[in-house]
Structure 1
Amino acid sequence: MYSEYCIGQQKLNFPINKITQSYNPFVQDAPRQRLPNENPKDYMLSAYTSLIHVIDITSTSAIYRVDPFAKYLCCWTNIINQAEISAIQERTKWRHPNLISFLFYQDVSDKYSQIKTREFKIYYEYLPLDVKQLIEKRSQTGEYVPEDEIWKMIIGLSDALLFLQKKGVSHSALTLESIYFDEEYLLYRVQDVSPFRAKAPHLFYNQFLASLNGTNLKHNLFKQDVFCVGMIILSLALLRDCKDIYNEGILQNGLFEEKLQKLKQLYPGRVENVLRSMVDLDNEKRPDWNELQQILQQNKEKQIGLSEQQSNIIQQIDKQKCKINVDINNNQENIEMKINIQKGDGLDQKLINLNKRIQETLSKSMSKNLR
């Protein structure tokens, strides 16, 4: 994605402050040996020798390579207060395969400054491929995402956001560019940016919003997240950004239903059923992440039931095929036996006739000798 990877590399000479005790608090001169059964990612983040600057993305963000491992981290430089530092420290303790983790930070603020806010470089996992780019990539070839992959995306993201809901955290900043596809682990992953939302709410908002009426202005933030994730997944399933269903911020019901009908043609069954529940325009009927888990479980059980039925049908067909083959073989054997019997009867008759002629010849010979 970035052609400048090979230039401008600078080695950091100042120490990295690890936020949690799960990683080593210092940088080694040489990578340590990997422990038995140690997660490769955890090993890489605790055994690196240095961080190599690769490229500046913006004036406040850059990409670094974890040396000597072929892995990249993203760094975001920002002015944060103690509350935000504490929030980041807490979040680095959270581990979920579908969440992008905060890893560690550097305090680069003026040590002699009397200001309470401080400048920090915050490092987190770098993933170059977001859903918006994935849509653009696949739409060029018209290659729709397989149903199993869409289902895996639904399961993974809903589980990650349920993880946040149980901690009382709503994402509320979901866009096509905030959900990534991890090509190394084949997972769809999302980053929690809630520690920074209070300071700059205009920078963090859901890309897709359901229409609200006067009775539910105090809407459930988790249900709004469910709607937005549903629309993001719908966009990927259709290989088209669904922003075109909005006209000056107002959702157009006709265009919205056309999208759902197209979804039904492409992914009938469990994917369509779950996504329809996620993008229900009624905020009261739409599930939150906890309720969605129950819906997913029900569809999983239905799928297992259908798979078992299909398996039983296949077994019955196989049994019928075996029976037919046995009958065919038996019939073939019977036919061959009849043919052999017929052939045997003819042969026996020839032997009988030959024996008669021999007996007749012997009788004649004996008669001549007696005379």
Structure 2
Amino acid sequence: MTAPADMIDLAQRLIRCPSRAGIDDYGPVLGILEDWLAKRELPYRRLYGDTGGAVGLLVEVAGGRPGRWWALDACVDTAPYGDEAAWSFAPDSGEVVDGRLRGRGAADSKLAAAMFCGIAAELHGAADGLHGGLAVLLDADEHTGGFGGARAYLADPEAVLPAGVLIGYPGLDEVVVGGRGLWRATIAVHAASGHSGSRRTAPGAVSRAAHLVRLLEEAELAGGDGDFALHPKPTGPDGDFPLPPKLTVTSCHGGQGFSVVPDLCELGVDIRTTAAFDADAAEQLVRAAVGELDVRVPAPRPTTITPVAAWPPYRLVKDQQPAAALLDAAAREGLAVRPKIAGPSNIGNLLAGEGIPATAGFGVRYEGLHGVDEQAFLEDLPAVHAVYRRAVLSLLGSP
């Protein structure tokens, strides 16, 4: 069995190799993983995105008996460091202090990546007795929101699509078995330009955009009447979807200086969707608000909407794999773990669109995820490792 110390050592090396999404070259961090895998004679290959750049590694351990394939997934790219002066230690520290692994990616999700590599190494030596196979996806394009590694895996003609995926996000108390979907768009609000000191009274694009923001934020989202906030529906894999839809205006860009009436202002809109309020409903709501703006506050050009992304909400039903195996394994290891429907989206939403069930959000405890002083609690690693190992063996134990 791969010792936790070996996993921690690999995680430390990964943390000390910056792999910030959209900032750093992913080649070095993938090279560290490739060296580790090659020394243990594990089969792996790089995955490439649409532009030809490497977006991840895929490790495949084929069993000796027929059966379904399952996948472990962890990202090896990270969020940016933010204000480095606010950190009390170097963001690429990789040190272990007071039982905590320090540095960006310690929690999300380089420690999980190292643990999953360890599990693959353990099973590789006993693969003949396993049904189906185990894939380990090490995604280097997760924090961009593009999920390039996952997309490349699903599109790879040589890969066997998994029956389910276990995503190694951190958090010891919950297994995420679903999440809200999303619909995102940019909105271009137009107006006639001119001098801010002239006698014209027609509003500029920023003013029209502000009016649209009010219309959007005052719009009623079906199923979002406030009862959720006062009386939350039970989270878990049974019953109605437990979270309401949510609309957020996330960006506003327009104008320059002071003497010009702006003729363009662009808004970013993020709508979290549910089964009762899906992407079509979200788009219809935004189009209705835009139509109302153009009637109430006309301009020379109509407001335009450019959809950017849409993912469906998802939830696993009770006893659906791979959630059932993970929850059962946690219980057998003496951990009190509950299923949860998450507000944010995750790779599970992407997989759900392909008909592949996924769990997320079970791992070690942590602090500072995506913030300053990111740390992972290493005392949890033996139990978390044991849970995933038990769950995987359970899934690979039958056809």
TM range (shorter): under 0.3
Comparing both structures, which one devotes a greater share of its residues to helix? 1
- Work out which structure has the larger RCO, using CA pairs closer than 8 Å and 6 or more positions apart in sequence: 2
Q: Which protein shows a greater Rg?
A: 1
Q: TM-score, normalised by structure 2?
A: 0.23
Q: TM-score, normalised by structure 1?
A: 0.24
